[in-house]
Amino acid sequence: MYLGLDLGTSEIKAVVIDEQGKLLASAGEPLDVSRPHPHWVEQNPADWWQATHLAISRLRNKLPQQWQEIRAIGLSGQMHGAVLLSREGKVLRPAILWNDTRSAAECEQLTQSAPELHQVAGNLAMPGFTAPKLLWVARHEPAIFEQTATVLLPKDYLRWMMSGEKVSDMSDAAGTLWLDVAKRDWSDSLLAACGLNRDHMPRLAEGSEVSATLKNDIARAWGLRDNVVIAGGGGDNAASAVGIGAVNPGDAFISLGTSGVLFAVNDRFRPNPQSAVHAFCHALPGRWHQMSVMLTAASALRWYCNLIGTNETTLLAEIAQLSPAQQRQAPLFLPYLSGERTPHNDPNATGAFHGMTHSSDRAALGYAVLEGVAFGMADGLEVMQQAGTRLQQCSLVGGGARSDRWAQLMSDALNLPVVTHSGGEAGGALGAARLGWLAAGGNFAEVCRKPAIERQFLPDVETRGMLGERLATYRQLYQQQVALRSA
């Protein structure tokens, strides 16, 4: 059997699959996020490790007879986070996360000091990426920067705790702005622009390769045999791609988690930074991918539910009762609760409801939230199409995949067939387990096959017309917001 661990922003998820690829069991443990100042988003790496132990314990209790058959572990995780370690391996400060936007000024600094950035890293400097975070630490916390001996990404901190090895994979490393994405190697010039060198970086491995072995004391604590190998793994989206078989050029999926991602597989490095489209390595050798990324997706629905004191299941049932006329009259929602990446690269963008009246009930506002996220995805698809990417169909994964209403909205807004898969909500954890299977010698064609389609959603012509009008207004509202901020 093969264990997959996915370190998300809101929880760590663990799954086990067998050698037929069947999902046998899953477990999760919630995580809290700290927002001590405006634009700051942090977590304590010690909390990740504690949550990992708890998730493993729960999973072990579900499979007591088979547990020791686990042969490999794969890792997936939230990208771009900065874990700073001293020479002694001490965590020097809370990890700065992917949706932290404090380093906007440092993005300008990096762009000016590294003119080769866009071509080598394939991406614009954005506050979410790792490199600007280190420039911020160097400017505002110089004593901590001086003590920093190693910078690890979140999932790679778990690997270090599990194995004592400091390793990252190509897909996650591509999100630092320190990787030469075409060459799949660290860039000395981009590191130097941040006052760093290769000694500060973990070694690199492909996601399907053996990167380390589980330490004996951890294996005993978890009830596993010795010599359990740990795969290189992947950033959460690249791992999710492996999980739903998006491994060949033209394959694509939408992930509705804390953030929202439109992911397309390429056979070569195809950067298009001008439109804030990301170009990264895939978690598999010889493959790359493009992504449009919105910073707030399913987390917008959680935020709204918390605001009105209900749960997602109840709200989604109420939204499903809305008539087409009620949807047409619903307010519009800008989902920029944490700023935005694609296509705006605007850390100062804010969320907003527009067009509320006395008849705007909570179901109408809930519909607006779902629709606003779908419109953000439509913006991302448009700039990917401008970059030459053509998609025929998208799989839907992540927590949002549980909602048929949202899946249909995605199909209508993007004018693409959308399919869901059995186990699609497992996301990165399932892909991580598959990468562990590959590292243990699994056959690529067998491991990376696409799961069976559970549901298919096709664009509705009448709804498309209504959404087109609302999308045009949605885009105008963002431009008005920009104009007001610059006035």
Type of residue numbered 422: S
Please name the residues in contact with 72: beta carbons below 8 A apart, sequence gap of 6 or more. 2, 3, 228, 229, 230, 231, 436, 437, 439, 440
CA dist., res. 410 & res. 406, Å (int): 6
Residue that has been written with the tokens 């950035």 in this structure: 117
Sign of the C-alpha dihedral computed for residues 487, 331, 461 and 393 taken in this order: positive
Please name the residues in contact with 26: beta carbons below 8 A apart, sequence gap of 6 or more. 13, 14, 15, 16, 59, 426, 429
Least Cα distance to 257 among 450, 425, 27 occurs for 425
Type of residue numbered 299: S
Please name the residues in contact with 166: beta carbons below 8 A apart, sequence gap of 6 or more. 150, 152, 156, 159, 160, 202, 203
Specify whether 236 is catalytic. yes
Tokens of 245: 């078989």
- Which stretches of 281-426 are DSSP H helices? 298-308, 312-320, 324-328, 362-386, 404-414
At residue 383's C-alpha, the angle toward residues 107 and 476, to 5°, is 85
Residue 320, number of CB atoms within 10 A of its CB: 12
Residue 273 vs residues 212, 292, 341, 344: alpha-carbon distances, Å: 34, 11, 11, 11
Is 39 among the annotated ligand-binding positions?
A: no
Tokens of 170: 């190509």
Residue from 169, 236, 346, 379 carrying the catalytic annotation: 236
Is 79 among the annotated ligand-binding positions?
A: yes
Least Cα distance to 260 among 316, 300, 307 occurs for 300
DSSP 366-377: HHHHHHHHHHHH
Contact 310, 365 (CB under 8 A): no
At residue 318's C-alpha, the angle toward residues 312 and 323, to 5°, is 135
* Residues acting as catalytic residues: 236
Q: Which residues belong to the annotated binding site for substrate?
A: 79-80
